[in-house]
Amino acid sequence: MTRDGRAPSAPALEDLLARLTAALKHRGPDGSGRRVLADVALVHTRLAIVDLVHGAQPLVASDGVALVANAEIYNDPSLRAELRGVGFATGSDCESALHLYRRDGEAFADKLRGMYALAVHDPGRGRLLLARDPFGIKPLYYAETPQGFYFASEAQALIAAGVVAPSLNTAARDEMLAFNFTTGTETPFAGIQRVAPGETLIVEKGRIVARRQRAALPVAIAPLQGDAEALQSFGEIWRDAVFVHQRADVPYGMFLSSGIDSAAVLAMMACLNDRPVLAFTAGFPGTMAHDEREGARAAAAAAGARHVEIEVTAQDFWRRLPAIAAAMDDPAADYAVVPTYLLAEAASRHVKVVLTGEGGDELFAGYGRTRAALRPWPFSKRPWRRHRLVDSGVLREVPRGWRDGMARVETETGARFGRGLRALQAVDCAAWLPNDLLLKVDRCLMAHGVEGRVPFLDPAVAAFAFPLADRQKIRERRGKWLLRQWLAENFPPAQAFAAKKGFTVPVVEWIAAEGKRLGPLVARQPGISELCGPGRVEALFSAVDKRNGGAAWALLFYALWHQRHIIGAFADGDVFSVLAG
């Protein structure tokens, strides 16, 4: 949307839309569409999941209101029944959102059950609306410039289109290097911001004029249920959540680990499907990391699932990491990007939709750091308090304000939920979940044209799980008690109460094996040399161990990310050739 009400010249507009389309083609390899009206242009690349024949976008109503979306609206059937008298033109699950806007105006997103990043253009009122789902499952970025207002599903698309120069936001960079992700709406790209989870922006004449917020977590606590009643309620809610998350006109499967969350997804999918569930698992042969495949294999066999296993090796790590860093334009330096990216590549040969277990730990209090924070003083250990690069001693100076964003999240969630378990869960849901876990799933899967769905983050599941009593989440020093109990009763092969080893990726082991060769290459990168003192990076990489391995990984990932997304170098080749330039 331009600010002066005039469209760019035809050649300039064509170039802009072509660049956006090319930059987002991996997210929508099945087709593209556009709509241009005076000062507003919409472009869409389609991953066809529902109504494969007639669901192309933009969707346009009879009064000219248009919608583009990266979304799955799971309550589309009930919304269509509610919107009586509307003549639906397609079977697309996104069309109900278009007509909800025409009826409810800027409050339209409040009724959506699903994951969504969408834009509505209302030419009659001269405004554009952007909306993102409450948990931030789907990403949405924007840039306000002197020329106008631009938005896209990935930050890199705005840079590729020439809307924003690839300039570094150093405050966000420092935060990312501390936590592996960034908080809030700032990105590591100066001039590019995120639409916040649950936010609706109203834009007129190229400027944001209003914001509306939809909460992901309930503040009011429902009457507590006894264990038996809660287990029955969860079973009913979980069945419905997984059922609607399977809605698709294309093949679907799931990612399976040996953990509780994906086992719960598998158990319910097996119950709901006549055909064997297609499950994908990654393992790390020849390393010290716990191999997830044995437990996943047993669970898959018990559920009658078709099980696909992939091996992730050191050779895969060195060969594929530059491409993975390129896919993570909004950087989440989570170890799990490596197996997630390779699992998505394998899954893309079989399916276009994958269900995953993200969200289970956040809603049912599964993290050990949560339990550690609840210990009585002086034994409590508050999360998100350390900067690993500061601890490693490689930085020239301690960055200022690196924890300010997390402190704001803690203050905001504390004001809503007070102190205690729910407040800790709310911090994870507001910071870690959208900007690490969900971002990782989105980029790694969409890089291969696969859609990731997260049934634990269904609004009905969240409304049930978050208000549970603390003892129904944590009992006998174990998290996720109620989820474990449900799984023990409904899918015993998962061994829900057995001691579990945490999911690990052996990146520290792989880096240590090549540390002396790798250190000088990382140290010479412009993004690293401006941060780290002379000789310190080489010393770190020459002695990588469990204590400092996280710092070495952060520097390696950031060096590759900076080279691709700030300098603009292509990610062709393995880690060593890319860093050697």
Please count the residues of the chain: 581
Predicted local confidence at residue 189, as pLDDT: 98
Domain 227-384+402-494: what homologous superfamily?
HUPs (3.40.50.620)
Q: Do domains 10-213 and 227-384+402-494 have the same CATH topology?
A: no
Question: Could you read off the pLDDT of 211-253 as tens digits, one per residue?
Answer: 999 999 998 777 778 999 999 999 999 999 999 999 999 999 9
pLDDT at 284 over 90: yes
Q: Which of 49, 470, 465 is nearest to 261 (CA)?
A: 465
Residue 232 to residues 235, 236, 457, 489, 494: CA-CA distances in angstroms? 5, 7, 19, 11, 19
Question: Could you read off the pLDDT of 379-412 as tens digits, one per residue?
Answer: 788 899 999 999 999 999 999 999 999 999 999 9
Amino acid in the structure at residue 291: D
In whole angstroms, what separates CA 460 from the centre of its chain? Answer: 20
pLDDT at 3 over 80: no
Question: Could you read off the pLDDT of 466-517 as tens digits, one per residue?
Answer: 999 999 999 998 999 999 999 999 999 999 998 776 678 999 999 999 999 9
Q: What DSSP letter does each residue of 285-298 carry, written as one string?
A: TTSSS--THHHHHH
pLDDT at 9 over 90: no
CA 429/CA 416 separation, integer angstroms: 13
Question: Could you read off the pLDDT of 141-195 as tens digits, one per residue?
Answer: 999 999 899 999 999 999 999 999 999 999 999 999 999 999 999 999 999 999 9
Question: Could you read off the pLDDT of 536-545 as tens digits, one per residue?
Answer: 999 999 999 9
Which residues, in sequence order, are CB contacts of 83 under 8 Å at separation 6+? 96, 99, 100, 103
pLDDT at 8 over 80: no
pTM across the whole model: 0.96
Query: 368: phi > 0 → left, psi -120 to 50 → alpha, else beta; which?
Result: alpha
Predicted local confidence at residue 571, as pLDDT: 73
Write the class of the CATH domain 10-213.
alpha beta
pLDDT at 96 over 80: yes
Q: What are phi and psi of 194, to 5 degrees?
A: -90, 145
Q: What is the 3-state secondary structure (H, E, C) of 406-421?
A: HHHHHHHHHHHHCCCH
* Confidence band of 4 (pLDDT split at 50, 70, 90): low
Per DSSP (E only), the strands in 85-192 are 114-122, 127-132, 141-144, 149-152
Task: Find the range with the poorest average confidence among 4-8, 35-39, 41-45, 181-185.
Answer: 4-8
E strand or H helix that includes residue 210: strand 207-213
In whole angstroms, what separates CA 430 from the centre of its chain? Answer: 12
Question: Could you read off the pLDDT of 109-147 as tens digits, one per residue?
Answer: 999 999 999 999 999 999 999 999 999 999 999 999 998
User: CB-based burial of residue 378 (10 Å sphere; 0-12 exposed, 13-18 middle, 19+ buried)?
Assistant: exposed
115, β-bridge pairs: 72
Predicted local confidence at residue 435, as pLDDT: 98
Beta carbons of 231 and 485 less than 8 angstroms apart = yes
Q: What DSSP letter does each residue of 425-475 carry, written as one string?
A: HHHIIIIIIIIIIHHHHHHHHHTTT-EEE-GGGSHHHHHHHTTS-HHHH-B
Q: What is the mean pLDDT of the chain?
A: 95
| Domain parsing of the chain, residue ranges | 10-213, 227-384+402-494, 507-580
pLDDT at 294 over 70: yes
Which residues, in sequence order, are CB contacts of 559 under 8 Å at separation 6+? 522, 525, 527, 528, 579
CA 297/CA 202 separation, integer angstroms: 49
CA 516/CA 288 separation, integer angstroms: 21
Predicted local confidence at residue 1, as pLDDT: 63
